Amino acid sequence: AAMSHHLRVLVSTLEGLRLKDAETRFLHWLLQRIPPAATGELRVNIGITKALLASELGTRQETLSRILAKLRDAGLLEVARQTIVVHEAAAVRDLFERNLSGAGR
C-alpha cells in the first residue's frame, strides 16, 4: 500500500511538471489539495516553505510570489503564512482549465 501511494505521488509530480507554465503547475498543485466537489471558500495548508514549493513546481521563489500576487489580485485566493485561502474553488478549477486549453494566453 505504501509503495502504491508513493508511485501515485511520483506520477502526479511528473504530470504536474509537464504542464505548460508555472501558473498552471501551481493551480494543479493547489487543486490536488482541494476535494473535487468542494465549492465556496476553503483553506489549504501549504505544509512546506514557499521556497521548497517553488522548487517542487520547477520554478523560482520570485515567480511563485508573482503567481500568488496575480491570483490574489484576481480575487481567487489569499496567502497567510502556511495557509492558502481559496475564495471560490470552482473559479480556480475554471482558470486551470482555461490555462490548459490555452484560452487564457
Whole-angstrom distance, CA of residue 42 vs CA of residue 39: 8
Task: Look at residue 23 in the predicted model and tell me its pLDDT.
Answer: 94
Task: Look at residue 102 in the predicted model and tell me its pLDDT.
Answer: 74
Task: Tally the residues of the chain.
Answer: 105
10-61 confidence digits (pLDDT tens) = 777 666 556 678 999 999 999 999 988 888 899 999 999 999 999 988 899 9
What end-to-end distance do the CA atoms of the chain give, in Å?
A: 41
Contact 61, 96 (CB under 8 A): no
Whole-angstrom distance, CA of residue 62 vs CA of residue 47: 19
Whole-angstrom distance, CA of residue 48 vs CA of residue 19: 21
Whether pTM > 0.85 for this model: the answer is: no
